[in-house]
Amino acid sequence: MRFRLEQKSIDRLIPKKVPQQTAFWGNLKRDMGYETLAFDIYVNTQKKKYHYDFLMIIVPIADNKFMAYIPFAANMFPDNIDYGKSIEAFSEKLRNYLPKKCIFIRHELNWEIPWAYDPSYYDSENNWLGRPEVRLMEMRMNFSTEYWNLRKAPTDILPPDTVFVYLNDSDNKILRKMKQKTRYNINLSKRKGVKIKTADYNSLDTWYKLYYETSKRNKIQLHDKRFFGKVLRSARKDSASEVRLLFAEAEREPLSAMFLLLTPDRATYLYGASASEKRNYMASYALQWEAMKIGKSYSCSWYDMFGVAPTPDTNHPMYGLYRFKTGFGGQLFHRYGCWDYPINKDIYEKYRMHELQDTGFHI
């Protein structure tokens, strides 16, 4: 397999359903101060030629050193090929386009992990048991590589596990696939008078109050308020993407809110927040159902609920999201997560040890 790369403007990225490979995401990260690069990639195999493109983000790590981060490049390689060997060949080709002090390439892989199909990784109630130990994953990924250089990253930047809800069914069929309690809570929110409205920049203070409350309650990393203004502005620069700020209210009081991202064929629950009070109004259930209906009206086939625990483990910090999101009747999807291709191995190992002590998702 041979690769040829040509750099181009991020505004010329081909529209995609994966948000992190769109011009919207590139503009957002650039507005946040990161260097963002876009490339056409031409792949020649023995049977066929392929053309894709991808977004890469240059991330400072320490002491004027960098990593090259490629998030969810879904279609960068043809299907049914040797992933490890292909990532290795691609990473070697990409070396020539990286800053001199780039220590490693981090690939956030969008492929579903093979153990998601292995019956031995499920319990008697058909619950997935989770990923194998890192040693086994690295052995499988590097099996046919030349340098055995692919390493499972200590942390995944984006959540590797999610729930996809199929939107091409009728509303009634989508509702029937949900758990009975989820349907009940959607109907309860209606009886409580919960209404959904679309907001704009003028509602960012209201959004941030809910978001700050949620972050403190759940002990998650905070973005500052300016970041969410950039989310709305960046979407305007990409005609193929649209961001909507939605609020669920009762008695004119905001109880839940979300940023909904609409890309070709996919609606994504990007950021969410909820009040600590009046949780019995079930506003978050009404909000998710409305987001799905908006996705359907936008001709999206799938709704990405974006981030859950991999298994129904009550000790996992994202278990609450697992219980809430799986109630909407979607399909669990387990990705490979982040994989590193070290360029300077000595410095990479030092950074890796530091990162092992500071894991967590950053979106």
Q: What is the CATH number of the domain that holds 256?
A: 3.40.630.30
HEC string for the chain: CEEEEEEECHHHCCCCCCHHHCHHHHHHHHHCCCEEEEEEEEEECCCCEEEEEEEEEEEEEECCEEEEEEECCCCCCCCCCCHHHHHHHHHHHHHHHCCCCEEEEEEEEEEECHHHHCHHHECCCCCECCCCCHHHHHHHHHCCCCCCCCEECCCCCCCCEEEEEECCCCHHHHHHHCCHHHHHHHHHHHHCCCEEEEECHHHHHHHHHHHHHHHHHHCCCCCCHHHHHHHHHHHHCCCCCEEEEEEEEECCEEEEEEEEEEECCEEEEEEEEECCCCHHHCHHHHHHHHHHHHHHHCCCCEEECCCCCCCCCCCCCCHHHHHHHHCCCCEEEEEEEEEEEECCHHHHHHHHHHHHCCCCCCC
Domain count, the chain: 2
Does residue 363 lie in a domain region?
no
Instruction: Tell me: do 347 and 269 sit in the same domain.
Output: no
Q: What's the pLDDT tens digit per position in 142-159?
A: 999 999 999 999 999 999
Rounded mean pLDDT, 131-148 = 96
Instruction: Tell me: do 145 and 290 sit in the same domain.
Output: no
Can you give the pLDDT at residue 2?
82
Q: What's the pLDDT tens digit per position in 44-98?
A: 887 888 899 999 999 999 889 999 999 998 667 766 678 899 999 999 999 999 9
Can you give the pLDDT at residue 75?
65
Does residue 307 lie in a domain region?
no
What are 308's two structure tokens?
Answer: 């859950």
Does residue 216 lie in a domain region?
yes
pLDDT exceeds cutoff 60 at 362:
no
C-alpha to C-alpha distance for 33 and 133, rounded to whole angstroms: 36
Does residue 321 lie in a domain region?
no
Which residue range is the domain that position 25 belongs to? 2-159+336-356
Instruction: Tell me: do 178 and 266 sit in the same domain.
Output: yes
Q: What's the pLDDT tens digit per position in 300-322?
A: 999 999 999 999 999 999 999 99
* Residue 140 pLDDT class (50, 70, 90 cuts): very high
Instruction: Tell me: do 36 and 86 sit in the same domain.
Output: yes
Q: Which pTM was predicted? A: 0.94
**CA neighbours closer than 13 Å in the CB half-sphere of residue 265:** 4
Does residue 315 lie in a domain region?
no
C-alpha to C-alpha distance for 139 and 114, rounded to whole angstroms: 13
Burial 130-142 (b: 16+ CB within 10 A, else e): ebeeeeebbeebb
